[in-house]
Structure 1
Amino acid sequence: MKSPDDIEQMAQALKDAMQKHLGVKGRNLEHAVRKAGRRLPKKLRAPARLMVQAEAVSGNLKLLRQLDTSKIESAYADLSAHLSAIDRAAERRARMLSVLAVIAFNLIIVFAAWVIWLKARGSI
């Protein structure tokens, strides 16, 4: 059985990792997971809810005994592995390149429409 201190340390570590890698700040793990929302993959939302539940019952030893410690450990491992693989700088670069690509495409469309308009008027 995990001690309440271990559960709280895992929850704090996950909350800190979410702040570092996702930019999500929260009062506790539950608040951070709620703010992360869809930035967590669908397959990791259930383990995140399990960790939130474990943190919530960590003060009550009888309720804590009802939770499966192996599931808690695997949920913690999965979440921490996913969060450590996130590179915020690379995501920022990808988002900026996406915006620039949209702007470039729109400029090409406007230029092509302008050329077609000039050709229709007989200016070219």
Structure 2
Amino acid sequence: MIDTAEFQTRVARLHAALSDKMRLRGRTLEAQFRRAGRRLPGRQRRAAAIVLGAQDWMGHPKLARVLDMRQVNAAFADLHAYLDPLDPKEARRTAILRLLGGIVLNLIALGVLIYALAQWVRTG
């Protein structure tokens, strides 16, 4: 059987990690996971479902005793293994570079179209 206080501290650490690493707002862990959506890989979404299910079961003393703690511990470990190496500054930098790359690509395509139109008008 797990200590509920220990479980709540692990949930609080996971809540803080989601806030810091992925910049997810939400009052509860469930709201944060809902906001994360497809930003989390499938394996981590399954781990999140296990943690949320365990969180529901921990509120009931008899259900908490039958909870498979190996599975819950593995879910916590899997989520932290994914979140710990994330760098929010690098993610922001990558998003900005992708946006700028898309803008540059569109400007190049527009330039090519304008050039082709000018050539077509001159020859026709």
CA distance in 2, matches of 1:111, 1:38: 35
CA distance in 1, matches of 2:37, 2:17: 15
Matching residue of 1:41: 41
Cα RMSD of the aligned pairs, angstroms, is 1.5
Question: Which ranges of structure 1 fall in alignment gaps of 5 or more residues?
Answer: none
Q: Percent identity?
A: 31
TM-score, normalised with respect to structure 1: 0.90
Matching residue of 1:74: 74
Cα deviation digits, residues 51-86 of structure 1 (max 9, x gap): 112222223221111111111111111101111121
Cα deviation digits, residues 75-103 of structure 1 (max 9, x gap): 11110111112111111111111111111
State whether structure 2 residue 13 is matched by structure 1 residue 6: no
SS of the residue corresponding to residue 122 of structure 1 reads helix
Asked if the contact 1:7/1:54 (under 8 Å) is kept, the reply is: no
Asked if the contact 1:44/1:78 (under 8 Å) is kept, the reply is: yes
CA distance in 2, matches of 1:114, 1:27: 51
Question: Which ranges of structure 2 fall in alignment gaps of 5 or more residues?
Answer: none
Matching residue of 1:100: 100
Matching residue of 1:20: 20
Aligned length: 123
CA distance in 2, matches of 1:26, 1:121: 57
CA distance in 2, matches of 1:36, 1:94: 18
Asked if the contact 1:8/1:58 (under 8 Å) is kept, the reply is: no
Pairwise CA distance, 1:121 = 2.9
Letter in 1 for 2:62: K
Q: After the TM superposition, which parts of structure 1 deviate over 6 Å for at least 4 consecutive aligned residues?
A: none
Matching residue of 1:86: 86
Pairwise CA distance, 1:120 = 2.3
Matching residue of 1:113: 113
Cα deviation digits, residues 7-40 of structure 1 (max 9, x gap): 1111111111000111112222122212211111
Letter in 2 for 1:29: L
CA distance in 2, matches of 1:121, 1:44: 56
CA distance in 2, matches of 1:107, 1:36: 32
